[in-house]
Structure 1
Amino acid sequence: MTDYELIRSKRRTLELRVLEDGRVQVRAPQRAPLRMVQTFVDSRRQWIRDQQQRQASRPRQRWQDGSTLVFRGQPLTLDVSPGRWSVSVSGGYLQVRVAEPDSETAVQQAVERWLREEARPLFADSIERQFGWFARQGYARPVLRVKKMRTRWGSLSAKGYINLNMALLHYPPAALDYVVMHELCHLQHMDHGPGFHALMDTRMPDWRQRKHLLDQPLYQP
């Protein structure tokens, strides 16, 4: 039997998550019977094992001179040296200047600050390029929020926000565009039923190949 943490909330469906440390979470409606929850977990046992193996094999990011950081699908070598805070790409290097170059914490904070600054215009551009069709259908443009998310690449809230995972910056631009299109399609179909997939096929015929890019193991912060 698979061990899991059960979280009940005001939701209508069951949701299964495998966290970075391999722990399993199940989110369930307040009144969902335990037998139903257990049956749901048992039916996804192989998927859980696959996800746990994937998390265990994913290398951890190091924040020191000479380490590699993947940015938009391309590996960059960290070039860390003392100086006033600055982070920039030069050729195949990410040049990082911090007051404490031997501190991985200081380097990580500097790079993550830079990543957050990079994320907003890049994510906004993807939304801008893909929103035209939805605007013509009468939908309001969702407000972008950039987040560090443990288990999701993105989400669309009923309050009009599109939340995108900052970790998408590590993947090729095609993967970011896929996640954005996925969330925009939820403007018309809030579930993942046939209508949603038909719209995805129409708006982005190669979305399955793009989705596969997110299955590739990369160094994660």
Structure 2
Amino acid sequence: MTDFELIRSKRRSLELRVLEDGTVQVRAPQRAPLRMVRDFVDSRRQWIADQQQRQATRPRQRWQDGEVLAWRGESLQMDVCEGRTRVVVSGPYLSVRVAEPDNELTVRTAVEGWMRRQAKPVFEDSIARQFDWFETAGFARPTLRIKKMRTRWGSLSARGYINLNIALLHYPPAALDYVVMHELCHLKHMDHGPGFHALMDARMPDWRQRKAVLEQPLFQP
């Protein structure tokens, strides 16, 4: 029997996740019988094994001097030195100055803080460039929220928020634009039915190629 972490909530269905460290996590309704949860996990044993193997072989991001950071489809070599905290792009380098340059957590914290500051204007620009048609159709522009998400690139909430994964900054701008368009199309079609796909085809004919870029492995943070 596969070991798993069970999280109960007000959701209506079972959801299975394999985390970066290989941990199996199941999200289940509050009153779902434990036997049903176990049967669900057992029925997905091969999928779980495949995902755990994928996570185990996926390259990990190292936060050290000389390591490479994927940035908007390009590669930046990290130049990490001691100094007052500062992160800035300088040609092909990401100059990182921190108090403890040999401490990977310190470097990671500084770089991720810098990424979050870069994300808002970049993401807002993508939304603005693609929203005109939806505005003309009578939809209100959703409010941006930037998140770290394990299993999604983005989501659109019924409360008017568009949630985008900060990890999109590692990929080319065309991939970010695809995710934004995908979520904007949910303003009109909340499901992934024929109407949704027809709208995606109309608004972004090459969306499938853009989506494929997000399926290419990068260093895992």
TM-score > 0.5, shorter chain as reference: yes
Distance 1:39 1:184 in 2: 37
**Structure 1 residues 10 and 189, CA, compared in 2 at 3 Å: closer, same or farther?**
farther
1:34-45 aligned at under 5 Å gives the runs none
Q: Which structure 1 residue ranges, 5 or more long, are not aligned?
A: none
Q: Greater CA deviation, 175-184 or 50-59?
A: 50-59
Tell me the amino acid that sits aligned with residue 190 of structure 2: M
Tell me the amino acid that sits aligned with residue 97 of structure 1: R
1:130-141 aligned at under 5 Å gives the runs 130-141=130-141
Instruction: Determine helix, strand or coil for the equivalent of 1:27.
Output: strand
Equivalent residue for 1:114?
Answer: 114
Q: Which structure 2 residue ranges, 5 or more long, are not aligned?
A: none
**Structure 1 residues 98 and 5, CA, compared in 2 at 3 Å: closer, same or farther?**
closer
Distance 1:173 1:101 in 2: 30
Instruction: Determine helix, strand or coil for the equivalent of 1:121.
Output: helix
Q: Greater CA deviation, 10-19 or 130-139?
A: 10-19
Equivalent residue for 2:180?
Answer: 180
Shift of 1:177: 1.0
Equivalent residue for 2:93?
Answer: 93
Q: Deviations over 1:131-187 (max 9, x none)?
A: 111111111111111111122111111111111111111111111111111111111
Give me the TM-score of the superposition, normalised by structure 2. Answer: 0.87
Equivalent residue for 1:204?
Answer: 204
Shift of 1:189: 1.6
User: What CA RMSD, in Å, does the superposition of the two structures yield over aligned residues?
Assistant: 2.3
Q: Greater CA deviation, 47-56 or 102-111?
A: 47-56
Tell me the amino acid that sits aligned with residue 115 of structure 1: M
Give me the TM-score of the superposition, normalised by structure 1. Answer: 0.87
Give the paired residue count: 221
Distance 1:16 1:192 in 2: 20
Shift of 1:44: 5.2
Instruction: Determine helix, strand or coil for the equivalent of 1:219.
Output: coil
**Structure 1 residues 17 and 188, CA, compared in 2 at 3 Å: closer, same or farther?**
farther
1:49-64 aligned at under 5 Å gives the runs 49-64=49-64
Tell me the amino acid that sits aligned with residue 10 of structure 2: K
Shift of 1:188: 1.4
**Structure 1 residues 54 and 156, CA, compared in 2 at 3 Å: closer, same or farther?**
same
Q: Is the 8 A contact 1:4 1:25 kept in 2?
A: yes
